[in-house]
Amino acid sequence: MLSKRIIPCLDIKDGRTVKGVNFVGLRDAGDPVELAKLYAEEGADELVLLDITATHEKRKTVVELATKVAQQLNIPFTIGGGIASVEDAHAVLNAGADKISINSAAVKNPQLINDLSEKFGSQCVVVAIDAKEVDGTWFVHLNGGRIKTDLELFAWAKEAEERGAGEILFTSMNHDGTKAGFANEALANMSALLNIPIIASGGAGNMQHIRDTFIHGKADAALAASIFHFKEIAIPDLKNYLKKEGISIR
């Protein structure tokens, strides 16, 4: 069994790390470069940095941010937000990011997944999916959760894999920021359908939630934000707990 990964996520707005509930009500959580460095030192396996307003405000992802973070980190990191072309991805990867995350741009232009995978390799391409369960069906949402589509979550995840995505980052909008646990049933269904790693996002509130998403949700990695940003859980403590629970951790 592959070792499970712990991935702090930094949502960035106007150059600052922020965190909200169900994608709204944002509050400041600190300087992203300082936080990235701290998490790397504490033993995070990877980092994800998402410029959450890049797509909405039609801005390009901050290449400068990738450069600054790369200078401080010795672990892999992914950058997303506003990446809509091979050129955008090249700029971010060239600045030091290990992977790029695409979300709205991939839905609007699915061929982008193929193009990025062919150019940089599938290992560099993370397709992020924000989805919300509505009357028993999971629908994909765009632009930071602002726009509902008719795309069904599992069909889109499968298509993304077939087009060359190396990983799926699935955020449940129903669970995001609630600290009530991950969408483990949906994650397990996705895991049974796909052959690529799945990162669980949305809902981490305690160490047991992370254990449960590995055991019941079959997730390959757990992504969390506020529990790390606001010092509710320390990464070394979390890793010790997971090891005691019999989970193979890096």
Amino acid making up residue 177: G
Across residues 236-247, what is the average pLDDT? 97
Q: What is the pLDDT confidence band of residue 237, given thresholds at 50, 70 and 90?
A: very high
Please write the tens of the pLDDT for every residue from 148-200.
999 999 999 999 999 999 999 999 999 987 889 999 999 999 999 999 999 99
CA-derived radius of gyration, the chain: 16
122 exposure class (CB count in 10 Å sphere: 0-12, 13-18, 19+) = middle
CA atoms of 158 and 34, how far apart (whole Å)? 36
φ/ψ region of 69 (left if φ > 0, alpha if ψ in -120 to 50, else beta) reads: alpha
- Active-site residue, selected from the candidate residues 11, 45, 88, 220: 11
Buried/exposed code over 107-118 (b: 16+ C-beta within 10 A; e: otherwise): beeeebbebbbe
- For 114, the enclosing helix (H) or strand (E) is helix 111-120
Tokens 């979390």 map to which residue?
A: 238
Give the whole-angstrom CA distance, residue 181 versus residue 172.
10
Count other C-beta atoms under 10 Å from residue 148's C-beta. Answer: 14
How high is the pLDDT of residue 21? 59
Predicted confidence (pLDDT) per residue in 91-147, tens digit = 999 999 999 999 999 999 999 999 999 999 999 999 999 999 999 999 999 977 789
* Count of beta carbons in the 10 Å neighbourhood of residue 33: 18
pLDDT at 2: 81
Token pair 């672990």 in the structure block, residue: 75
Active site residue 212: no
pLDDT of residue 17: 82
Catalytic annotation, pick one of 45, 130, 176, 212: 130
Task: Work out the end-to-end distance of the chain between its first and last CA atoms, rounded to an integer number of angstroms.
Answer: 12
> 11 catalytic, yes or no?
yes
- Domains of the chain plus CATH, in order, are 5-244 (3.20.20.70)
Q: Closest by alpha carbon to 5, among 216, 160, 221?
A: 221
Find out whether 157 and 197 touch, Cβ atoms under 8 Å: no
Q: Residues with Cβ < 8 Å from 208, sequence gap 6 or more?
A: none
